[in-house]
Structure 1
């Protein structure tokens, strides 16, 4: 009869029964890597939320500058096609001269977008002429009735 074949694992040294040793080393490294991947995802999510918030604040600042001449301030983006990158400097600050130029270019193409609260000037209502400094005296009032 043939002799039984020895198990391949019997030639390896016994690993400690408590689960410590080389077998758990990759598991600890995987856990640590997973922990760092989770932290990375959280940091990326916070960064994305912060970028959205900053862009919203920059957009609001641009719209407040554009509202001086546009009836709907968001038209600078929607109709004019401007972007935040076009209207900010490399540090991310809004350039008011770039906003003014974009508004003027938009109004040159579409003058109907101008703010309707512009003063009309003299439209013929109200009192004409100069207003006297002092009220007329009784003598001056009688002079006008004799004519």
Structure 2
């Protein structure tokens, strides 16, 4: 079992098992949400993920895929925690930086999504599958 939390620890979660994949997402939605060039995600089965403390806030937007993206975050400190995508109904995309176990740094990136929107100063990750768009 792995755990994670927001910066202020008001919201905590856990997930069972190994990630399905680790992914960087360069879509405009992720750029706007994070204020960064991309989001770093550990993708797990939705049924293996649960919030164990607090009540994260959420909002939904229509992503570039035309499907809903539900973003979950701490209402107190604003930390981004996870995303649930309509296009990936069985998976939860946990924001890597919110995971407590720092061994997440040892994971290799398996895929980069929306490479068509990647900032020019970001290079493709060697050996990661490159997906121009998703959906």
Pair in the same fold by TM > 0.5: no
With normalisation by structure 1, the TM-score equals: 0.19
Please tell me whether Structure 1 or Structure 2 has the larger radius of gyration of its CA atoms.
1
More strand by share: 2
More helix by share: 1
With normalisation by structure 2, the TM-score equals: 0.21
**Greater relative contact order (Cα 8 A, min sep 6): structure 1 or 2?**
2
